[in-house]
Amino acid sequence: MNIENNLSKGFLDIDINPELDLFGEIEKLKKEKNAIILAHYYQEPDIQDVADFIGDSLGLAQEAKKTNAEIIVFAGVHFMAETAKILNPTKKVLLPDLNAGCSLADSAPADLFKIFKQKNAEHLVISYINCSAEIKALSDIICTSSNAEKIIESLPKEQPIIFAPDKNLGAYLNKKTGRKMLLWNGACMVHEIFSLEKIIKLKIRHPKAKLIAHPECEESVLNISDYIGSTTQLLKYSQTNSASEFIVATETGILHEMQKSNPLKTFIPAPPNNNCACNDCPHMKLNTLEKLYLCMKYELPEIKMDEKLRLAAKKPIDKMLEISRAAGLIL
C-alpha cells in the first residue's frame, strides 16, 4: 500500500485489527521511535491516558520547546502542532488528523487581518495562540489564556494594542487590565454556545456548586462565574478549592482529568444552547486512539512549514515565553 496516497482524507484510513492492544502498541512505538505524545485536555480520555504530557496551550508549547524526543506526536488541533513545529524545526511533528482545525483560528484569515493591522499601524499586536502561523507572523507577541494578563501588563499603559482573534477573551482582558485594546471579531464555537439560562437553572439545583469558566466564554457567563481561567488553572482550582461540586463551562474533555484527580468531587458540564448535555469541540474530537496509533506507526500526517514563515511566527512566541519566564509563570 502507498501510505502517502492513503493520506488524501487528512488521516490514515487503514483497518486495524480490533483485538490489537492499542495502548500497549502505542507505548512500544514511543520507545522504538523516541517519540513523545503531547495532549491537550480536550482530547478524548483514552488519548489523555496514553499521553506523556497533558496540558493547556502554554504548558504544551513549553513542553514542545524542551523535549529531547525525536518525534513529537501532537494530540490536539492544527495550530498547536504548528506551534510545536515552529519551536522544533528539526523534529518530526505529527498530528493524527490534519483536519483538526479550530473555529477561532479560522475566524482570523491572514489577508483580512493584514489590512486591519495596516489601518491601525500605531498598534502593537497581541495574538492569542489559537491562530494560524500566518497570523502569528503578523503579531508582535503571542499569549495564552494563562499568561495574557501578564503579557498585557508588561506593556506601557499608553501603548495602543490590537488583540486577536478572540473577542470574548479580549473583552475579559480589557475589563481586567483597564485597557482599551482593539478587538478582532473572532470567537470559539465551543465557548460561545453555552446557555446562560440553563446554567442559571443548574446553579439553582446545585446551590453549593462553584461555576468555573474558560475566558473564551461570553461575558454573560463569565459575569456569574466563581472562577475564570485556562484549562490548567481550572483544573488546579478544582483540586484546591474545598467545594465538592463544580459546574464546568469549557470543553468537556477537561472533566476526565478533573474527575481523575478529584475522585470524590462532582463535575457537571455546563450545558450548551442545544439538546446536548455537554459540549465537545468537533475539531479536537477528530483525533482518536486509532488515528494516533496509525500516525505513530507510519509517521504521518506530518506538519511541514515554510522556513520564512516559521521564523516570522517564532519571534512573537519567543517573546511570549520570555515575558512568561520573567513573570515567573514558567521556568
Q: Does 238 bind ligand 13P (CB under 6 A)?
A: no
User: Residue 144: helix, strand or coil by DSSP?
Assistant: coil
HEC sequence for 267-299? EEECCECCCCCCCCCCCHHHCCHHHHHHHHHHC
Of these, 48, 57, 83, 238, which contacts ligand 13P (CB under 6 A)?
57
| Minimum CB distance to ligand SF4, residue 121 (Å) | 28
Of these, 62, 67, 130, 132, which contacts ligand 13P (CB under 6 A)?
130
Q: In whole angstroms, what separates CA 113 from the centre of its chain?
A: 21
Q: Does 230 bind ligand 13P (CB under 6 A)?
A: yes
**Nearest of 159, 160, 183, 158 to residue 172 by alpha carbon:** 183
**Footprint (CB under 6 A) of ligand SF4, residues 191-250:** none
Q: What is the DSSP string of 40-57?
A: ETTS-HHHHHH-SEEE-H
| Minimum CB distance to ligand 13P, residue 41 (Å) | 6
| Minimum CB distance to ligand 13P, residue 281 (Å) | 7
| Minimum CB distance to ligand 13P, residue 40 (Å) | 6
Report how many residues bind ligand SF4 under the rule CB under 6 A: 13
Report how far residue 314's alpha carbon sits from residue 327's, in angstroms, rounded to the nearest whole number: 20
Of these, 133, 162, 190, 249, which contacts ligand SF4 (CB under 6 A)?
190
| Minimum CB distance to ligand SF4, residue 263 (Å) | 26
**Footprint (CB under 6 A) of ligand 13P, residues 140-199:** 144-145, 188
Query: From start to end of 92-209, where are the E strands?
Result: 92-94, 124-128, 141-143, 161-164, 182-183
